[in-house]
Amino acid sequence: MAQLLQILDVNKTFKSGNSKVKACQEINLTIGEGEVVGLVGESGSGKSTLANLVLGLEKLDSGSIKFEGVELEKLLKDKSKSFRREVQAVFQHPLLSLDSRKTIAWSIAEPLVINKIGNSASRKARVLELLAAVALDEGTASKYPSQLSGGQLQRVNIARALALEPKLIICDEPVSALDVSVQAQIVNLFLDIQKRLGVAMLFISHDLAVVRHISDRIAVMYAGKIMEIGDTDDICESPIHPYTQALLSASTFTEESDEGREKLKLFRREEVPQKGCPFSTRCPHAIALCREEEIKIQSFASNQESSCLRAQEIFPNLAKK
């Protein structure tokens, strides 16, 4: 599988007043053509920051992001704007990306208009095609955002994202704001689209159960760092990192959920140690060394990568690559 997106040693720190937040630290992640990579981690772990760096909405401090082998910085300056067409996004709040005064047809056609693709008749036909692709009926075209449900609005956003036939869609918590009953329908729609069109996705969620359903591989983030990456089945059935294990046992957790917080004892930024493994203050396996030694991702024979210093002590049969 050819590599589509390469995120290499990426760092991003936010400064507010005297305090600094290391939102992304030494992040390495690749996405192959047509591959779905899930990015999971609790609130504040740096998922959206990483998504925004890939989309060029934030500037990285150091490291490099390449799309089809070309530096993002160069692609963003490119006048042909092909990167802007090839990488699309679907965000958490479906209403924010849509203009309340415009019809759904207008919103779906907008990317075509901006990129001067087709004429008014061909765009009209394309809008109907895209509505069908996201299982909305033709009548939706003339409606306004206020007339649609959250799930229908997110379908419109997906249609809009598909309009330019992207190679990669960055999905930042695309189902988190929806009713639980609707979430599965939208995840299934993403899955269906992925199978039909072969588009690659970075699918972000704080919920491992959601990511598990759609991803080929999963990356687990905690406090700005990648804790573990691997094939979905390996991550979900034989996780190496104690944090991934904790996520699995909590299965769903939110900032608002006392139960989830209690189960996982969610971190707050101020509780993240400045040195060593960020999870060391919560980890049942932590020893003094974990609080001192800088973590490094290690590759194991199972194709999993984990930053746990004690991986081979916890799992004596685990072989390094």
Ligand X SMILES: Nc1ncnc2c1ncn2[C@@H]1O[C@H](COP(=O)(O)OP(=O)(O)OP(=O)(O)O)[C@@H](O)[C@H]1O
Residues that bind Mg ion (CB under 5 A): 48
When CB distances are held under 5 to 8 angstroms depending on the partner's kind, the choice from ligand X, Mg ion, none that residue 64 binds is none
Q: Which residues are registered as beta bridge partners of 30? A: 6
Q: For residue 287, which of 262, 306, 313 has the smallest C-alpha distance? A: 313
Alpha carbon distance 179, 194 (integer Å): 22
Alpha carbon distance 38, 36 (integer Å): 6
Amino acid identity at 43: S
Which residues 6-65 are close enough to bind ligand X by CB under 6 A?
14, 16, 21, 23, 41, 43-49
Tell me if 86 sits within 8 A of 167, measured CB to CB.
Answer: yes
- Total Cβ atoms within 10 A of residue 233: 12
Which residues 256-285 are close enough to bind ligand X by CB under 6 A?
269
Would you state the structure tokens that stand for residue 75, as one six-digit string? 């692609």
Each residue 207-236 as x (binds ligand X by CB under 6 A) or -, in order, gives ------------------------------
State which residue, 48 or 88, has the beta carbon closest to Mg ion: 48
When CB distances are held under 5 to 8 angstroms depending on the partner's kind, the choice from ligand X, Mg ion, none that residue 321 binds is none
State which residue, 205 or 304, has the beta carbon closest to Mg ion: 205
Q: For residue 169, which of 111, 127, 208, 230 has the smallest C-alpha distance? A: 111
Strand ranges of the sheet holding 3-16, from the earlier edge strand across to the other edge: 19-32, 3-16, 62-67, 70-71
State which residue, 47 or 212, has the beta carbon closest to ligand X: 47
Tell me if 156 sits within 8 A of 104, measured CB to CB.
Answer: yes
Each residue 168-207 as x (binds ligand X by CB under 6 A) or -, in order, gives --------------------------------------x-
When CB distances are held under 5 to 8 angstroms depending on the partner's kind, the choice from ligand X, Mg ion, none that residue 136 binds is none
State which residue, 81 or 269, has the beta carbon closest to ligand X: 269
State which residue, 48 or 244, has the beta carbon closest to Mg ion: 48
Alpha carbon distance 12, 239 (integer Å): 27
Amino acid identity at 95: L
Would you state the structure tokens that stand for residue 318, as one six-digit string? 């685990």
166 scored as a contact of ligand X (CB under 6 A): no
DSSP string, 98-114: S-TTS-HHHHHHHHHHH
Each residue 85-124 as x (binds ligand X by CB under 6 A) or -, in order, gives ----------------------------------------
Under rule CB under 6 A, how many of the chain's residues touch ligand X? 14
Tell me if 221 sits within 8 A of 279, measured CB to CB.
Answer: no
Tell me if 202 sits within 8 A of 166, measured CB to CB.
Answer: no
When CB distances are held under 5 to 8 angstroms depending on the partner's kind, the choice from Mg ion, ligand X, none that residue 242 binds is none
Q: How far is the CB of 116 from Mg ion (least distance, A)?
A: 33
When CB distances are held under 5 to 8 angstroms depending on the partner's kind, the choice from Mg ion, ligand X, none that residue 6 binds is none
Q: How far is the CB of 175 from Mg ion (least distance, A)?
A: 13
Q: How far is the CB of 8 from ligand X (least distance, A)?
A: 19
State which residue, 15 or 77, has the beta carbon closest to ligand X: 15
State which residue, 45 or 183, has the beta carbon closest to ligand X: 45
Alpha carbon distance 98, 153 (integer Å): 9
Task: Kindly list the residues in this chain that would bind ligand X in the complex (CB under 6 A).
Answer: 14, 16, 21, 23, 41, 43-49, 206, 269
